[in-house]
Amino acid sequence: MKSYLIANPKGGVGKSTLATNLAGYFARRGYNTMLGDTDRQQSSREWLKLRSTALPAIGTWKITHDNIAKPPEGTTHAVLDTPASMSVKQLGEVLTQVNRIIVPLQPSIFDILATQDFLEVLASTKQVRKEQVSIAIVGMRVDARTRAATQLERFLKTLNLPVVTYLRDTQTYVQAAAYGMTVFDLSPSRGAQDWEQWKPLLKWVESE
């Protein structure tokens, strides 16, 4: 099973957007996909209730803020959405179950400062140091050509963590989510621009 943790201690950076759309991509590819949510608000789980049975299936499993259980047997791809309040202890528990960590990060100085300690903690964990778990940074709601993106890259360079891709600030994600959909459920005329931005990240998640 391939498993992916979407994490950042800063709220409102786009964790659920990233988690639901990544799960949507795997489901569209025909994988047995599970989307878990450890946030007390259960945003991702609530989103699943909106999803039509006509769309590629995304399952879930019983999981709580205090009990991070493993996905059901037979799952090929699992995506785990996490709360902003995740503790270091919870992070350690989750890291024993995942292969990859994706950190969504907006390029404002406040988001960067709020995430800095978390990234340093991640880098110091046994799983990351021994290269058992890989980390990818995704710039959220930003144009890669802007000064803000340059500032984000400069900060991450000090941690030796490159930005894998940037996802634009668009209502497409909001409008799709309202119907339990992802950008990968949209027609080419509506989703092509966003699919293109996802390509570097999808190449990373599918790599060995």
Query: In the structure, what pLDDT confidence band is assigned to residue 183 with cuts at 50, 70 and 90?
Result: very high
pLDDT (0 to 100) of residue 132: 82
120: CB partners within 8 A, 6+ apart: 159
- Residue 128 pLDDT > 70: yes
Q: How big is the CA angle at 27 (ends 25 and 33), to the nearest 5 degrees?
A: 115
Higher pLDDT, 75 or 82: 75
For residue 14, the SS3 value is coil
The span from the CA of 21 to the CA of 195, in Å, is: 11
Q: How much of the chain exceeds pLDDT 90, in percent?
A: 51
Q: What is the mean pLDDT of residues 56-62?
A: 91
In this predicted model, which residue has the larger pLDDT, 63 or 149?
149
The strand pairing partners of 35, in sequence order, are: 79
Question: Average pLDDT over the chain, rounded to whole?
Answer: 89
Q: Are 141 and 51 in contact (CB under 8 A)?
A: no
The CATH number of 2-206 is which of 3.40.50.300, 3.30.1130.10, 3.40.50.410, 2.40.40.20? 3.40.50.300
Domain chopping of the chain, boundaries: 2-206
Tell me how many helices (H) and strands (E) the chain has. Answer: 8, 6
Residue 66, pLDDT score: 61
**Per-residue pLDDT band at 62 (split at 50, 70, 90):** confident
Instruction: Tell me if 205 sits within 8 A of 100, measured CB to CB.
Output: yes
3-state secondary structure of 163: strand
CA distances from 22 to 102, 118, 121, 181 (A): 10, 22, 24, 11
The stretch 49-53 carries a mean pLDDT of 95
90-104, 105-119, 164-178: range with highest mean pLDDT: 164-178
Fill in the DSSP letter of residue 133.
S
Q: Where are the alpha helices (DSSP H) in 58-186?
A: 88-95, 109-124, 126-129, 147-157, 171-177
pTM for this prediction: 0.92
Q: Looking at residues 15-36, what average pLDDT do you find?
A: 96
